Structure 1
Amino acid sequence: MSKLQKNKNKNWLVAVLALLIFLALGFGPARVELSAQKKKTDKRISALYNKNQKKATPLSSQAERKEAIRRIKAMSLSQTGGTGDKYSREKVLVKFKPGLTTQSADSLLKAYQAESYHLIPKINVYVVRIEDGVSVEDTLSALKVNPDVLYAGPDYKLRLCATPNDQLFSYQYALSNPGGVLLIPGSPTGNPQADFKATGAWDYAKGDPNVLIAVLDTGIDYTHPELVNQVIDHGKDFVNDDNEAYDDVWHGTHVAGIIAAQTNNSAGIAGVAWNCRLLAGKIIGAEGEGDYSDLIEALIWAADYTNGAAKVGVINMSIGGTEPDEFLEEALQYAYNKGIVLVAAAGNDGSQGVYYPAAYDNYCLAVGATDYNDQIADFSNYGPEKDVAAPGVGIISTYPVALTDPGYLPYAFADGTSMAAPHVAGLAALIKSVKPWLYPGDIMKIIKYSPDDVDSTGWDDYSGYGRLNAKRALAPYVLK
């Protein structure tokens, strides 16, 4: 469940987002509610919000300056959300053994009552839509015993995880924490060490416009004033199968702003990777969940994307699902082998178990969330796959203009590992900008071995190697 916090401000013209989403499933105004009671079945992904906070909380005394702040809770990898099903009842994924002709594959799929199907290139996986009334389980059982099938599985579900002069930079404690009472919902007192040292990092790098960060999420509001010059094109919508990856929810727009909002423009917020650009891949629909097959296709698409000299160097996935999947792992491996750094949110259940794709730690950086006092967020999932943590509580970022109430600015506060991951993706893009020849594994090591310890000394299940330190990661002695 998401929640909003309001407070008005006479002195500051900071009207931060209006979340008024009426989704087809009947979500009420000013909240994003993912119901665990409506179930489907297909390996699924979702966006991660902190589901433990159920009511809007007004800003306390220090916030009597009355800034109009609304707060969203964002979940990047959650077991609940949307229909709640683990996999689709309409589709399966199939890979045939090498040597089987296309004609033979077509005949075989038709024999298994495929209504339609298409091939994901490069990894040769078929997305097969089965006929109404045909059981996914029965179809998979039959496919798995066929000698021509290498492997077959369900289509699992995904759910929604230099100092600039920007007007709202003082609200971005994650980039530079001044300590004292913070300008975020609840007006907590912050630890001045509890940020990821962005201003120091910008002394070394601000990003290369030919380094693209693909945001595989709910899409991006590419009309937003802070993003209109940052997106390279309108991306691709894998949910509706078109080339307009517009965000009709809010989550992907919020993630995109953290990574690369236009910066040093005397307006709005600052993005981590100032000069890098964004590419939107929409894999999550308005109901807050999507299919693994869309993520798999988006990974291949992003890995192969070029636009002149620009190409994808980093992929951010503030989404996830509970189930491992060979097809997903193969797509991650494909992108990794193309030289792309993969970043994913760890999950927001506050429990043991990093979600997928983050749990594929050979290829992905799994990111947990910290707060303004360098404490591990109580909603942040933990486990042996955890690599690093980054600020993910009270994070202000961009919000879709079309969803913003009159009189408010299109910005919002949100919590979640969904908000932590894009800080890491932005840092990866900065490193890629400075040293474009580094392999993904090299960049992952730099990010993992340069944080500040915030929990146990050394690596631990909760913070991984610690809270991100972008300045240290970009220091010349590290990148020599």
Structure 2
Amino acid sequence: MRAVRTRITAGLSLAMIAAAGSSAAVPLGAASSSEQAAQARPDTDGGVESLGRGAGQGRVLPETDRILVSFKDRVPTATKDTVLQGAERNTELADPDIVRTTGTGESVVKSAEMLTPAEQRETVAALEADPTVASAEPNQIAVGALAATPARNPNDTNWNYQWGPRDIAVPGVWSQATGQGIVIGVADTGEISHPDLNGKLVPGYDFLSDTYHSRDGDGRDPHPQDQGDWSPGRPSRWHGSHVAGIAAAHTNNRQGIAGMAPDARIQHARVLGADGRGYVSDIADGVMWSAGLPVPGVPANMNPAKVVNLSEA
């Protein structure tokens, strides 16, 4: 199981749909100033809230408040609790609690306080020293939604600006295939209403498991709407729709851009939220579900994707 998780984690920077220089247009504005003010000053008693907004842009944040633990087969719940209590006594793991199980069967253990890299290593070592634990690793917080950010304000309302698709002569292959009957999974910040994408979506899912990142007031749910990844001083990028537009925007409709597979459908797995952040375990579950694999506590995907795009920074 750990090998599966590691392969998914190592592949965070790989995009399985490669096209550049085009995007669906984005809605004007971000969240209201009152919403920004409220979310820019979260509770800082502990946990992920203490990171604040807008900090730590990069591939992964150095701190995390969650550890992934793979217990050996048939370990009872009481024994798991005992193992975590032992780690709490001997490390900086604070008030540990198993909050859910991942798609690969690992227990997501939440700490009441953030753990530094050194504290993460100490906690992992303590957990793996227990004979009931097969493996443990930090559940890092990935910071994505940076790959398609332009150096200046984009102007993607005309094919003439789509230099990437033009350079690789995409129109030349449309006589052979346009994505008809194909579902493209987009594991990213979620969906928005947009004229170049409306009518092309199949039901997706919101995999953000904590309200700090989700900004929608709850955890996982069947509503993958993008709530914006803005932080103070920086507007939202609407990266999930950027990717969806590159993949399958309506084409020959006299507006917006041309999609690379214009007859394909899009399915959003929302795995990134505030500041473009998301736990690696949530990202992995979102990719697995998109591909049609079962994830505990999540309804089966009735429209599994043929291709899944994961284009994080």
Alignment TM class, shorter chain as reference: 0.5 to 0.7
Give the aligned partner of residue 68 of structure 1: none
Give the aligned partner of residue 171 of structure 2: 199
Summarize the alignment of residues 15-54 of structure 1 with structure 2, pairs less than 5 Å apart: 20-21=29-30
Give the aligned partner of residue 217 of structure 1: 188
In the alignment, is the contact (CA less than 8 A) between 2:66 and 2:109 conserved in 1?
yes
Q: Which has the higher helix share?
A: 2
In structure 2, which of residues 49, 57, 60 is the aligned counterpart of residue 81 of structure 1?
Answer: 57
Code of the residue aligned with 2:200 in structure 1: it is Q
The 3 A distance-change label for structure 1 pair 83 and 302 is closer
The 3 A distance-change label for structure 1 pair 106 and 263 is farther
In structure 1, which of residues 87, 92, 96 is the aligned counterpart of residue 67 of structure 2?
Answer: 92
Give the aligned partner of residue 146 of structure 1: 130
Alignment partner of 1:208 is 2:208: no
Q: Which has the higher strand share?
A: 1
**Relative contact order (alpha carbons < 8 A, sep ≥ 6): 1 or 2 greater?**
2
Runs of 4+ in 1 over 6 A off after TM superposition: none
TM-score (norm 1): 0.43
In the alignment, is the contact (CA less than 8 A) between 1:207 and 1:273 conserved in 2?
yes
Q: How many residues align?
A: 233
Alignment partner of 1:130 is 2:120: no
Alignment partner of 1:226 is 2:196: yes
Code of the residue aligned with 1:175 in structure 2: it is P
> Hey, what's the Cα distance between the residues in 1 that align with 2:286 and 2:196?
24
Alignment partner of 1:313 is 2:303: no
In the alignment, is the contact (CA less than 8 A) between 1:85 and 1:157 conserved in 2?
yes
Give the aligned partner of residue 43 of structure 2: none
> Hey, what's the Cα distance between the residues in 2 that align with 1:101 and 1:115?
15
> Hey, what's the Cα distance between the residues in 2 that align with 1:125 and 1:207?
35
**RMSD after superposition:** 3.7
Displacement, 1:242? 2.0
Alignment partner of 1:246 is 2:225: yes
Alignment partner of 1:174 is 2:164: yes
Code of the residue aligned with 2:135 in structure 1: it is Y
> Hey, what's the Cα distance between the residues in 2 that align with 1:197 and 1:285?
34
- Residue deviations 1:79-107, cap 9 Å, x none? 9517972241x210011223434564455
In the alignment, is the contact (CA less than 8 A) between 2:248 and 2:264 conserved in 1?
yes
In structure 1, which of residues 155, 165, 173 is the aligned counterpart of residue 139 of structure 2?
Answer: 155
The 3 A distance-change label for structure 1 pair 307 and 137 is closer
> Hey, what's the Cα distance between the residues in 2 that align with 1:23 and 1:126?
37
Give the aligned partner of residue 286 of structure 1: 274
How many percent identity over aligned positions? 29
> Hey, what's the Cα distance between the residues in 2 that align with 1:284 and 1:132?
21
Give the aligned partner of residue 96 of structure 2: 114
- Residue deviations 1:196-235, cap 9 Å, x none? 12111111001123x21111111121x2111111110243
Displacement, 1:136? 4.2
> Hey, what's the Cα distance between the residues in 2 that align with 1:142 and 1:119?
20
Displacement, 1:140? 2.1
- Residue deviations 1:295-316, cap 9 Å, x none? 12212221226665x4211111
The 3 A distance-change label for structure 1 pair 295 and 20 is same
In structure 1, which of residues 292, 296, 299 is the aligned counterpart of residue 287 of structure 2?
Answer: 299
Code of the residue aligned with 1:230 in structure 2: it is K
The 3 A distance-change label for structure 1 pair 169 and 292 is same
The 3 A distance-change label for structure 1 pair 235 and 226 is farther
In the alignment, is the contact (CA less than 8 A) between 1:87 and 1:154 conserved in 2?
no
